[in-house]
Structure 1
């Protein structure tokens, strides 16, 4: 046993062994890293590889890569012919089967590095990798006992077993994470790309299918001098709905505020997203979260928000949001997400009335509560009980997996 704890903020130690106990050469790593090289980190063992790869594909979908079930099946089929215990084979098999466009490559590398708890900082261009001289396998702590070094046909293919720490981290409560686990969580959240639910706009664009476009068709006829021409068609443009995030930064939400705001930062990149913090004051932080780097955005946000770890006045602040921004069109037809535990210091009747008002304006109202995942939880808090009748989806928000489900609900999935 090598004493490596798989729950630590690393993906485990890569070790090589061959049947018979002789130490084999290491699989050559990819010098330079970057977009064309696998970042260092240990992917999976053979026994639990399917579950880990499914979790990896789920993280890719949260980052905007269309890694659907058919592509995951293609990945599993490719690894059946390769070495599912080698990072080299897992990286390139996933890159060739899960990525569908050039834009997916950067996201794939970023998620791969974050999911397996390693950071690629070299930035050098990739270089060709010589093929390995012999196949290697990953041996987790205690995977091969001394009796496994016997010779014979049964000893030809040792089966490695290990639990992937990133998959375990996905279901851990954010409030109980260590500093190393929080750092890995931040890298995974930085790879998020939540998208809003699409809607059909009034604008139309040329298309091969759809309704006949009379103007373009007549212009084509005139251009041909009246000769018959094919009918030109157009269809309505689909656009993502605006997302409005109201993040509770009060004292009761302190253990979750950083992760939820980083989730909001990821949602605000490339989509129509507005972000507000709520506590004792209502603060619009969309501009502060506009920085590309998450740490820079969080530093700017810490300066702009004056009511960290204070009380909560949900009803009064929600009324202020609707009076100043919501009624003018920001919340109209949008997907509004409240990330709060529902503790209310003010009048619950006021919160109930403002939630009904918000529900009439918004396309959907989603409430994410980190306390919902606790055993025996019931929405008995005055604020939460008053708001629930006007909520379309009530989901958890305590872990990375819960935030992935929240992103799917925002896209229109069934909660």
Structure 2
């Protein structure tokens, strides 16, 4: 009997670990969608799910909504992420965020191993392994190029819930605050309103606002397996505000207006009609120069977070790309390069274009999967600074050039 009990305890611990991994993956998706789920909120969420019935989809829904959402703006994001992560019962609904969740349907459990005992009547079932949610957690780390049609549809639902905000900065505008510098105008007006009687000092503080984000998305032939996912990621970024999107291939095309459609499919259809150089060649240096001369130098890139989503293949002159990257690095607050090929085993940034651009890149990240795009969003937000280009990579490039 002791052996059976030990096996049951081990299975229960494994079930708890798998369920926690699923729930934490859901929290990561929420954060990528812009929900500020702090560590305290995540801990409260896990405790609430444990107290309720984790095998019921509705209990997981209400536990997360009560603990992870900090304001009304989070409710719509929570609805979208929950529906994409755990699925919906039947056709997805377009109900407002204040509506009730779908009916309480039990999550699908894996088959029990042979010989496992049935739980007693008074024994509470352990946390289940949600098949759909677990598949989403696996999907987060899958390379986009290897997904089938069903997995791409699921990925598109998760990408639609993304949010992308630049690193915050203090603007020149001020707002009333409890702490900060004394606001002389408001303080004097308060004195006059009181007839000259002493009044407390009123204060103000600088307003913080996110920096502008500029996305340059490579739609050349070598980026064809990733272009759709990256553009859907860009669509979600445009919906978040203060984001400009350009496609680069053989031409430079500004597609911010096309991506402003609320519906992702309508936005992609409008973008397909506007971009003339799908799956063509790549002229990164010339197009980056065109961007800087036409938009960047005039202010779009000044103080902005500029993200290049490309594999770095360059048909033109690599020295031109290096010179334009130097210009861009002097204008932008931060330059980030997301390369879908970076995550492949044995990858080294020795392609001519990538090698020329890398010395002027502040952060070099992967862009091949949903998890990589989540990390990219964190880097743009300034929450992950551990992805700077290392001296080892630069040294490796120099060695490759000498060879």
TM-score, structure 2 normalization: 0.86
**Distance between the aligned counterparts of 2:192 and 2:76, measured in 1?**
47
- Cα distance, 1:91 vs. partner? 1.2
CA contact (8 A) 2:19 2:127 kept: no
C-alpha distance 352-88 of structure 1, shift in aligned 2 (>3 A): same
**Distance between the aligned counterparts of 1:161 and 1:54, measured in 2?**
13
Q: How does 1:242-261 map to 2 (within 5 A)?
A: 242-261=212-231
* Per-residue deviation, residues 392-414 of structure 1 (Å, max 9, x unmatched): 00000000000000000000121
C-alpha distance 312-98 of structure 1, shift in aligned 2 (>3 A): same
Gaps in structure 1 of 5+ consecutive residues: 1-43
CA contact (8 A) 1:117 1:184 kept: no
The equivalent residue for 1:358 is 328
* Per-residue deviation, residues 252-284 of structure 1 (Å, max 9, x unmatched): 000000000011111111321110000000000
Counterpart check, 1:385 vs 2:355: yes
Among 161, 176, 180, the residue aligned to 1:206: 176
Counterpart check, 1:120 vs 2:73: no
**Distance between the aligned counterparts of 1:287 and 1:314, measured in 2?**
22
Aligned-partner SS, 2:338 = strand
CA contact (8 A) 2:213 2:307 kept: yes
Q: Which moved more, 1:321-330 or 1:227-236?
A: 227-236
* Per-residue deviation, residues 79-114 of structure 1 (Å, max 9, x unmatched): 221222221221111111111212222211111110
Aligned-partner SS, 1:325 = helix
Counterpart check, 1:71 vs 2:77: no
Counterpart check, 1:301 vs 2:271: yes
- Cα distance, 1:310 vs. partner? 0.2
Among 4, 7, 24, the residue aligned to 1:54: 24
* Per-residue deviation, residues 14-65 of structure 1 (Å, max 9, x unmatched): xxxxxxxxxxxxxxxxxxxxxxxxxxxxxx9644111111110010111111
Counterpart check, 1:397 vs 2:367: yes
**Distance between the aligned counterparts of 1:377 and 1:128, measured in 2?**
45
Aligned-partner SS, 2:239 = coil
Q: Which moved more, 1:300-309 or 1:136-145?
A: 136-145
CA contact (8 A) 2:220 2:249 kept: yes
- Cα distance, 1:219 vs. partner? 2.1
CA contact (8 A) 1:57 1:72 kept: yes
**Distance between the aligned counterparts of 1:110 and 1:365, measured in 2?**
30
Q: Which moved more, 1:114-123 or 1:389-398?
A: 114-123
Counterpart check, 1:368 vs 2:334: no
The equivalent residue for 1:148 is 116
Counterpart check, 1:282 vs 2:264: no
CA contact (8 A) 1:325 1:331 kept: yes
The equivalent residue for 1:40 is none
Aligned-partner SS, 1:193 = coil
**Distance between the aligned counterparts of 1:195 and 1:77, measured in 2?**
30
Among 108, 111, 117, the residue aligned to 2:81: 111
- Cα distance, 1:137 vs. partner? 7.2
Gaps in structure 2 of 5+ consecutive residues: 1-13, 388-403
Among 177, 182, 185, the residue aligned to 2:152: 182
Counterpart check, 1:335 vs 2:305: yes
**Distance between the aligned counterparts of 1:374 and 1:399, measured in 2?**
12
* Paired residue total: 367
Among 201, 226, 240, the residue aligned to 1:270: 240
CA contact (8 A) 2:119 2:125 kept: no
CA contact (8 A) 1:280 1:307 kept: yes
**Distance between the aligned counterparts of 1:144 and 1:269, measured in 2?**
46
* Per-residue deviation, residues 356-400 of structure 1 (Å, max 9, x unmatched): 000000000000000000000000100000000000000000000
Would you tell me which structure has more helix in proportion to its own residues? Answer: 2
